[in-house]
């Protein structure tokens, strides 16, 4: 992306020491009221978002938000409260409210702070903060260029949902009564475009987007717009499919949803409630033996990176699946306690889940599949984590002899996650890095494809 600067300044945040003093005061106030455990956090966020539609600015939003939250424990009784008002009187009232709530809640032996020995003591610099000194005029121009490129791809593109540029920066400081104290700044920038195509009576919509911590790492407006336009045009001329059994490839940008379902199934809250099809599967084969799935929370500049979880526990790289065997669950301190285990530093979720790729790009996977369905969009919610049953509306392309033949929509793919995971034949090397789950396209040997 071009290095565009103007009168807009870098986001103004208070000194981190000021926020550290604030959370220390909050903890002290709660302890004075009798709390035996306290955790507090303060956040300040600022952002700019511009949408241009049909060449004209449609929306312009600027936000500056702040918040303060705390959780207190009185002999395993928990109370939480939050406020956006940083005035001393409001903070005192918020602390009092959390303590009052705790006195009325039931005792839960697992309610409390995470293990003191697991607290982060060193906060590494993960290079997560790259503010964009971007003014409104420049933001509008970049969004306009993106949309104009998409609309110019083909005469069949007849409408637009707009080009959008958003830029965000934030600062967070957290602390607890174990002595943990951490804080860091983050940024995130996104450029997206969505357009509508028409062929006869048929209309189709598609989009593309780029997102990164550092705006220099974004695709250009021309690249994003061209991709949005091309994706829309190639969906025109859709056909229906009759019901059949067929191999299915989930394109990289939708494949991460499959692994999101896997994470839901190994999440502590699902496990201790016995509401997952992967209960008691630790040490068992759940994927083919070539699969390696791991968490890398300390990658520099990555969208999911964090030096500690939301309880202050130091994050670390670890394997979730090695040689297809489940190596670990996704636990915060509460769910770990309920399961008689230790936290895996996943309060707040996984961070940079990586599915190791194979040696084929998407065209290579298509040739390996030969005949089947390429899924490029999933619609609706049809995943039952308790049973593993999977049924989603999808759109994509029918493939024959390793080549895309025509677009398809109004179809459903169905199976069971247990069989789908074990039925993964290959992972593509076309890794999508735009989220917290990094995966290439996924080829599954067989699923039910239901059409009209």
pLDDT at position 14? 86
CATH code of the domain made up of 16-233: 3.30.2290.10
pLDDT at 3: 41
Residues with Cβ within 8 Å of residue 106, at least 6 apart in sequence = 77
What is the value of pTM for the model shown?
0.94
Give the separation between CA 320 and CA 329, rounded to whole angstroms. Answer: 7
Secondary structure (3-state) at 57: strand
Burial of 155 by CB count in 10 Å (0-12 exposed, 13-18 middle, 19+ buried)? exposed
Give the per-residue pLDDT at 419: 97
226-251 per-position pLDDT tens digit: 999 999 999 999 999 999 999 999 99
Residue ranges in the chain whose pLDDT is less than 70: 1-11, 452
Which residues make Cβ contacts (< 8 Å) with residue 165, sequence separation at least 6? 49, 50, 134, 139, 142, 143, 146, 189, 190, 191
Q: Do residues 160 and 229 lie in contact, with contact meaning Cβ atoms separated by under 8 Å? A: no
The token duo for 173 is: 């400081």
Residues 306 and 214: their CA atoms lie apart, in Å, by: 16
Domain ranges in the chain are 16-233, 238-452
Q: How far apart are the C-alpha atoms of 296 and 326, rounded to whole Å?
A: 17
């Amino acid at each position: 992306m071009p290095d565009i600067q103007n009168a807009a300044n870098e986001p103004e945040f208070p000194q981190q020491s000021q926020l550290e003093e604030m959370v220390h005061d909050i903890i002290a106030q709660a302890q004075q009221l009798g709390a035996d455990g306290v955790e507090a956090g303060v956040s300040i966020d600022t952002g700019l978002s511009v949408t241009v539609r049909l060449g004209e600015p449609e929306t312009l939003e600027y936000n500056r938000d702040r918040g303060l939250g705390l959780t207190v424990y009185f002999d395993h009784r928990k109370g939480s409260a939050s406020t956006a008002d940083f005035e001393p009187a409001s903070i005192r009232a918020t602390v009092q409210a959390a303590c009052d709530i705790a006195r009325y809640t039931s005792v839960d032996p697992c309610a409390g702070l995470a293990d003191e020995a697991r607290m982060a003591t060193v906060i590494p610099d993960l290079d997560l903060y790259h503010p964009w000194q971007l003014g409104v005029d420049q933001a509008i121009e970049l969004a306009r260029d993106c949309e104009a490129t998409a609309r110019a791809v083909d005469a069949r593109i007849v409408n637009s949902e707009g080009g959008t540029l958003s830029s965000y920066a934030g600062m967070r400081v957290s602390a607890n009564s174990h002595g943990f104290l951490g804080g860091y700044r983050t940024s995130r920038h996104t450029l997206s475009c969505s357009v509508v195509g028409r062929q006869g009576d048929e209309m189709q919509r598609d989009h593309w987007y780029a997102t990164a911590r550092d705006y220099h790492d974004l695709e250009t407006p021309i690249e994003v717009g061209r991709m949005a336009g091309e994706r829309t045009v190639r969906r025109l001329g859709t056909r229906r499919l009759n019901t059949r059994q067929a191999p299915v490839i989930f394109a990289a940008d939708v494949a991460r949803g499959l692994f999101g379902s896997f994470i839901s199934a190994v999440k502590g809250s699902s496990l201790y409630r016995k509401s997952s099809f992967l209960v008691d599967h630790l040490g068992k084969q759940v994927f083919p033996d070539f699969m390696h799935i791991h968490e890398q929370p300390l990658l520099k500049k990555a969208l999911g990176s964090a030096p500690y979880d939301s309880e202050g526990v130091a994050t670390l790289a670890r394997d979730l699946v090695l040689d297809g065997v489940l190596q670990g669950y996704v636990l915060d301190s509460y769910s770990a306690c309920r399961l008689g285990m230790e936290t895996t530093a996943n309060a707040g979720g996984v961070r940079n889940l990586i599915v190791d790729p194979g040696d084929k790009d998407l065209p290579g996977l298509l040739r390996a599949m030969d005949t089947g369905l390429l899924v490029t969009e999933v619609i609706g919610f049809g995943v039952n984590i308790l049973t593993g049953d999977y049924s989603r509306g999808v759109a994509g392309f029918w493939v024959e002899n390793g080549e895309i033949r025509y677009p398809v929509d109004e179809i459903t793919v169905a199976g069971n996650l247990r069989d789908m995971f074990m039925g993964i034949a290959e992972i593509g090397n076309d890794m999508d890095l735009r989220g917290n789950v990094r995966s290439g396209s996924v080829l599954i040997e067989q699923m039910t494809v239901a059409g009209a």
